């Protein structure tokens, strides 16, 4: 099993343990209810059934309407958010592989 996401995050051990327990619960529920899309939920930001609807709900918020720039993860679940941001004329910053390199972010503008 891969190391927990926060193995090097630092911080209070009880808080880190609670966060990991919550991740485990969410991953298990997504799997049990067959709401996780390929390749599954465990040990990742899971792609899930309804990601498109969630992106539309986000799009309806004042925070979204007022934002000109977003930072998104490259995970599949956030693809609908990135797509809608570009459709709405926002600049999207997204981490790219090899984060330790000199330019770890990629920017896209419509």
Residue 5: pLDDT above 60?
no
Residue 11: pLDDT above 90?
no
* Alpha helix (H) residue ranges in 9-108: 13-32, 51-59, 62-66, 79-87
Provide the token pair at 95: 């981490």
**49-56 average pLDDT score:** 96
Q: Considering the entire predicted model, what is its pTM?
A: 0.71
Provide the token pair at 83: 């797509």
Which tens digit of pLDDT belongs to each residue from 69-110?
Answer: 999 888 889 999 999 999 999 999 987 766 666 766 666 666
Placement of tokens 């570009």 in the chain: 86
The pLDDT > 70 percentage for the chain reads 79
């Amino acid at each position: 099993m891969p190391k927990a996401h926060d193995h090097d995050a630092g911080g209070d051990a009880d808080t880190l343990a609670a966060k990991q327990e919550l991740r485990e619960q969410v991953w298990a529920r997504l799997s049990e209810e067959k709401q996780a899309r390929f390749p599954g939920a465990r040990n990742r930001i899971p792609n899930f059934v309804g990601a498109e609807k969630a992106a539309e709900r986000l799009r309806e918020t004042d925070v979204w309407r007022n934002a000109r720039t977003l930072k998104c993860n490259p995970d599949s679940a956030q693809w609908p958010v990135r797509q809608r941001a570009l459709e709405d004329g926002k600049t999207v910053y997204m981490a790219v592989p090899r984060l330790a390199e000199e330019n770890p972010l990629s920017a896209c503008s419509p």
